[in-house]
């Protein structure tokens, strides 16, 4: 699969170009330099072919950003990835070349791969004359576009298709770390498991993401809130393909004061909705504090299977007292929600990560089974014998399985209280063998059904 990188200085419209070529908003756009920190990659099906398109963090002179260690680290990490791409789209903007862009152009011309110059913010053909200085950079392909107004975007897309036409019908996995292609092509669009990594800022989510994928895609820093975009990657585990998404850390709403971060939180919630199993990463020092319990509730509301990962196990492996305290706190949360599995892990070393992934596949199997009507009717008869229902004169009429498959709709003769609903939920989970995953139970009355 041809891999295309969108590169350039900060705030020249790279993310806008990425989104318009992609056809939907993936990278965060904000009028502030350095918003994109990680490599954001998406598969783009154009015509008969499929490409990977990657939005890079904005490059800048190290002297100019010497006091911004986080941005500097992002740029250095990104530059190491350039050699893996088949085409570089070098984005500049109308208004004049900077000295840094001229130096960057010189370096790119020495690269043994195609580099196309894309001049952004050319909203009108008359503005092309003002941007004639960009021809001096000597790149064979130059495009005048407006990512905001979609001007000449179709022409750029068609030119990319023509560039890779000879190999466009072959769909491969993204390149591996050593630059080779993986040939199990059809699996690209059909992962066997979709994982989302959630947690508070700086809990170790990006470290876990990099450890699982074997790539340094996610930027790691002791600064909370380093990850802004949700980034995804594929990796293989025991012959199966897994798609994993690293999300921005979710912090208390009153602490989300930066517009960029509020967009990041929204993306994290979207990743939660799209995944099949959630890894909730928690720093052992913070354990199950109020904020982490809020995350539990968020996951429960979405009805997603959850595996709690108590991170940095390499730092407290021998502390029996601390491990016992953690176990007590986890047990309390299990009683409040459901008996979700959990592990002590080290995102840094990968300790116990294999166990967590194996368990993730088990949880997925619990929520993808279509349950036949006879089995549901038999379970309904068992539930109807409950003394809790008899004491309140509650009669169960019938039950159906919804979508997603861990959602069930139960019809009764009268509304039920929350304790009764919780009782029905627990009993249903037990009889269905779904003891480690959430069940979304909706209880409706016959009167509501008739309306």
Indicate whether 390 belongs to any domain.
yes
Q: Which band of pLDDT confidence, cut at 50, 70 and 90, is reported for residue 75?
A: low
Strands 306-311 and 342-344, by their bridges, are parallel
Residue 250 assigned to a binding site: yes
Mean pLDDT within 93-102:
87
Q: Give the percent of the chain with pLDDT over 70.
A: 77
| Residue 11 annotated as part of some ligand binding site | yes
**285 is a domain residue:** yes
- Ligand-binding annotation for 247, yes or no, is yes
- Domain of 411 in residue numbering reads as 373-450
N-term to C-term CA, the chain: 53
pTM over 0.75? The answer is no
Residue 8 marked in a binding site: yes
Same domain, 333 and 407: no
The verdict on 121 and 11 lying in the same domain is yes
392 marked ligand binding residue: no
257 assigned to a ligand binding site? no
Q: Tokens for 360, please give them.
A: 């993730």
> Is 248 assigned to a binding site?
yes
Would you say 403 is a known binding-site residue?
no
Whether residue 205 is annotated as binding a ligand: the answer is yes
Are 199 and 273 in the same domain? yes
**Which of 313, 348, 367 is a domain's end point?**
367
271 assigned ligand-binding residue: no
Asked if residues 54 and 41 have their Cβ atoms less than 8 Å apart, the reply is yes
Residue 353 and residue 377 in one domain: no
Residue 193: CB atoms within 10 A of its CB come to: 18
Q: Kindly state the average pLDDT of the residues 217-233.
A: 51
Asked if pLDDT for residue 25 goes beyond 70, the answer is no
Number of structural domains the chain divides into: 3
| Statement: residue 254 has pLDDT above 60 | no
Residue 177 lies in a domain: no
Same domain, 274 and 403: no
- Whether 17 and 99 map to the same domain: the answer is yes
Q: Are residues 258 and 145 in the same domain?
A: no
Q: Tell me which of 316, 341, 367 is where a domain ends.
A: 367
Whether 180 maps to a domain, the answer reads no
What is the per-residue pLDDT for 28?
42
User: Which two structure tokens, joined as six digits, stand for 250?
Assistant: 């979710």
Residues 6+ apart with CB under 8 A from 61: 99, 100
Between the CA of residue 286 and those of 228, 252, 289, 347, what are the distances in Å? 22, 14, 6, 16
- Whether residues 154 and 289 share a domain: the answer is no
- pLDDT tens for 356-396 read 999 999 999 888 878 888 888 898 888 888 888 888 888 88
Confirm whether residue 204 is marked as ligand binding.
yes
Average confidence (pLDDT) over 223-250: 72
Distance CA 199, CA 157 (A): 37
Mean residue pLDDT of the chain comes to 79
- 274 in a structural domain: yes
203 annotated ligand binder: yes
Q: Give the tens place of pLDDT for each residue, 319-342.
A: 999 999 999 989 988 888 889 999
Is residue 299 within 8 A of residue 273, CB to CB? The reply is no
CATH number for the domain harbouring residue 384:
3.30.300.20
Region 284-310 average pLDDT: 84
pLDDT in tens, 399-450: 888 888 888 998 988 888 888 888 888 888 888 888 899 888 888 886 555 5
At residue 71, the pLDDT reads: 56
Tell me, what's the pLDDT at 300? 87
Q: Is 442 helix (H, G, I), strand (E, B) or coil?
A: strand
| Alpha carbon distances (Å) from 341 to 330, 331, 360, 430 | 10, 10, 9, 16
Quickly state the pLDDT bin for 35 (edges 50, 70, 90). very low
Residues 71 and 201 in one domain: no
Residue 173 lies in a domain: no
Pair 252, 342 in one domain:
yes
Give pLDDT, residue 266. Answer: 64
The full DSSP string for 1-41 is --EEEEEEBTTSSHHHHHHHHHTS--S---SSTT---S-EE
Please check if 292 is assigned to a binding site: no
Q: Which of 307, 336, 367 delimits the end of a domain?
A: 367
Q: Is 313 annotated as a binding residue?
A: yes
Confirm or deny that 100 is annotated as ligand binding. no
The mean pLDDT of 187-207, rounded to a whole number, is: 81
What sign for the dihedral angle of Cα 189, 194, 200, 204?
negative
Number of H helices, E strands in the chain: 14, 15
CATH number of the domain bearing residue 77: 3.40.50.300
For residue 174, being part of any structural domain is answered with no
| 433 marked among binding-site residues | no
**Confidence label for 230 from pLDDT (cuts 50, 70 and 90):** low
Is the domain of 8 the same as that of 131? Answer: yes
Query: Does 68 carry a binding-site annotation?
Result: no
Confirm whether 175 is domain-assigned: no
The answer on 399 and 331 residing in a single domain is no
249 is in an annotated binding site: yes
């Amino acid at each position: 699969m041809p891999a295309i990188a969108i590169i350039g200085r900060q705030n020249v419209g790279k993310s806008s170009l990425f989104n318009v070529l992609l056809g939907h908003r993936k990278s965060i756009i904000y009028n502030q330099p350095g918003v994109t920190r990680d490599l954001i990659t998406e598969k783009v099906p154009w015509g008969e072919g499929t490409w990977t398109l990657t939005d890079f963090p904005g490059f800048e002179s190290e002297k100019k950003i010497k006091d911004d260690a986080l941005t500097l680290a992002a740029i250095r990490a990104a530059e190491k990835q350039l050699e893996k791409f088949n085409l570089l789209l070098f984005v500049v903007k109308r208004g004049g070349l900077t000295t840094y862009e001229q130096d960057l152009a010189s370096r790119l011309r020495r690269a043994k791969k195609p580099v196309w110059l894309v001049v952004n913010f050319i909203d009108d053909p008359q503005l092309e004359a003002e941007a004639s200085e960009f021809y001096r950079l000597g790149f064979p392909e130059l495009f005048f576009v407006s990512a905001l107004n979609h001007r000449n975007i179709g022409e750029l897309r068609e030119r990319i298709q023509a560039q890779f036409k000879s190999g466009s019908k072959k769909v491969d996995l993204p390149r591996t770390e050593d630059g080779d292609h993986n040939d199990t092509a059809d699996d690209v669009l059909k992962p066997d498991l979709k994982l989302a990594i959630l947690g508070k800022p700086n809990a170790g989510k990006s470290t876990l993401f990099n450890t699982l994928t074997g790539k340094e895609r996610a930027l790691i820093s002791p600064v909370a809130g380093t990850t802004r975009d949700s980034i995804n990657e594929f990796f293989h585990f025991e012959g199966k393909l897994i798609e994993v998404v690293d999300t921005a850390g979710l912090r208390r709403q009153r602490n989300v004061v930066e517009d960029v971060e509020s967009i990041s939180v929204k993306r994290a919630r979207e990743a939660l909705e799209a995944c099949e199993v959630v890894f909730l990463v928690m720093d052992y020092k913070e354990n199950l504090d109020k904020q982490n319990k809020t995350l539990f509730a968020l996951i429960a509301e979405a009805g997603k299977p959850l595996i709690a990962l108590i991170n940095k196990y390499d730092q407290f492996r021998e502390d029996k007292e601390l491990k016992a305290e953690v176990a007590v706190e986890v047990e309390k949360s299990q009683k409040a929600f459901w008996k979700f599995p959990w592990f002590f892990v080290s995102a840094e070393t990968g300790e116990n990560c294999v166990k967590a992934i194996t368990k993730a596949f088990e949880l997925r199997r619990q929520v993808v089974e279509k349950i036949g009507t006879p089995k549901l009717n038999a379970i309904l008869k068992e539930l109807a014998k409950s003394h809790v229902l008899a004491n309140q004169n509650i009669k169960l009429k019938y039950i159906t399985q919804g979508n997603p498959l861990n959602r069930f709709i139960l019809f009764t003769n009268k509304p039920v209280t929350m304790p009764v609903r919780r009782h029905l939920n627990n009993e249903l989970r037990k009889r269905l063998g779904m003891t480690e995953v959430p069940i979304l139970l909706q209880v409706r009355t016959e009167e509501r059904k008739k309306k």
